[in-house]
A and B are shown apart, each in its own frame.
Chain A
Amino acid sequence: MYDVAIIGGGPSGVAAGIYASRKKLKSVLITKDFGGQSVNSASIENFIGYKSISGVDFAKTIEEQLRANDGIEIKDGLLVVSVKKLGDYLFEITDSAGGIYQTKTILYAAGSVYKKLEVPGEKEYEGKGVFYCSICDAPLMKGKSAAVIGGGNSALEAVIDLLPYASKIYLITRSGIKGDAVYREKIEKESKVEIINNANTQEIFGDAFVKGMKYKDSTTNEEKTLDVSGVFVSIGWTPNSGLIKDLVKADAKGHILVDSKTQQSSMPGIWAAGDVADGLYAQIGPAIGEGIVALLNIYDYIVSENKA
């Protein structure tokens, strides 16, 4: 029986894992891989302690730091497939290899997945011109035109990832750029970037591969077509909360509702942290903070239970 099972190997889960190990809780961390969404960043420049670090190096660094602590079992390369409540402060987790874990508490830090546009052609052309990982697939747009959908930091990063390769880049936003000014200024200077605001994407089309997309101008209601070979979808993330949706309360988008002082969910025994929780800002710093707060609160619970 574990004191705590941590689900997720992003910044939140790893930070909590290090604290769990140092508190000598009987703990296990189950994850597919390390780093969470941070691995998709070419260069992280706003996390205190590093002037600049690539997402992959950041993921490796936190994994190494976690592994330097021997008080926690690490089960990586595995997905959690079910979470069942057996009783008060008693849960059973099953992983994708059939492993079963019984635990008193759960820290659920399973992060988020790319949000889909949900327009015709998106699914059909996934990997065939519709991409979600700009740092992976931007080089395939060498000499071609591409569109980036979205107005937040990840969309602006996608434009920047495309700059060395694409001949023309359209940035398609519904309500303008919301990302950081440093990114905005950088892309506004580029003559091959065209920013189209008030645009609602309607359809992605092509033959074997993408040939273009249609959007509707929300001010004039006019439908327009762009000839592009790639559409990079960067409209945010959907929280990975499906596994425990029957156990905890969540908002309409699926973010798990937590107490902001303790990260406790509506279900006694389950805490949530990072992108899957309902904190306002999906950033590495807050994710780590939430993971630590949750773990310390779990520790307080385990200590009080042992005294009782």
Chain B
Amino acid sequence: MIKIYSTTHCPYCKMAKDYFDKNKVEYKDYNVEADEEALADMVKKSGQMGVPVIDINGTIIVGFDRGAIDQVLSSKK
């Protein structure tokens, strides 16, 4: 299960979600601006507050790093 922690207008969050959509990868989006519980989870998992944070089955990626995302996705196939 992929989780993405984002804010409403964050460009890199949108680019990450567009990238998942384009590659038909399912994810659940948590808007940490509105969801304090999700914000706490995100900070706990990543040890920092910047968005986006992407959690791919427990592997945490901070920022929209396409190379890192591709690597984790291909290793989990």
Contacts and interface: CB of A to CB of B under 8 A. Distances in A.
Contact of B10 (A32, A126, A127, A135): A135
A140 B10 contact: no
Interface in B23-77: 32-33, 39, 46-52, 62, 64, 66-67, 70
A128 B10 CA distance: 17
A56 B15 contact: yes
B7 A127 contact: no
B32 A127 contact: no
| Centre residue among A56, A79, A142 by max chain B CB count within 10 A | A56
B9 A135 contact: yes
Contacts of A40: 11
B13 interface: yes
- By size class, the interface of chain B is 20 to 34
| Centre residue among A127, A138, A209 by max chain B CB count within 10 A | A127
A33 interface: yes
Interface in A51-65: 54-56, 59
Interface string A123-155: 000111101010111111010000000000000
B22 to A, nearest CB: 11
Given A128-B49, A140-B39, A96 B67 contact: yes
B67 A77 contact: yes
Contacts of A135: 9-11
Contact of B33 (A54, A59, A139): A139
B15 A127 contact: no
A34 B27 CA distance: 23
Contact of B62 (A42, A77, A127, A138): A127
A39 interface: yes
Interface in A155-213: 209
A54 B67 CA distance: 25
A209 B12 contact: no
Contacts of A128: 47-49
A136 B8 contact: no
B48 A137 contact: no
Contact of B11 (A39, A126, A138, A140): A39
B48 A127 contact: yes
Contact of A39 (B15, B47, B52, B70): B15
A133 B70 CA distance: 24
A44 to B, nearest CB: 12
30 contacts: A33-B64, A33-B66, A35-B11, A39-B11, A39-B15, A55-B11, A56-B11, A59-B11, A77-B66, A77-B67, A79-B67, A126-B48, A127-B48, A127-B50, A127-B62, A128-B47, A129-B49, A131-B50, A133-B50, A135-B9, A135-B11, A136-B7, A136-B9, A136-B11, A136-B12, A137-B7, A137-B50, A139-B32, A140-B7, A140-B39
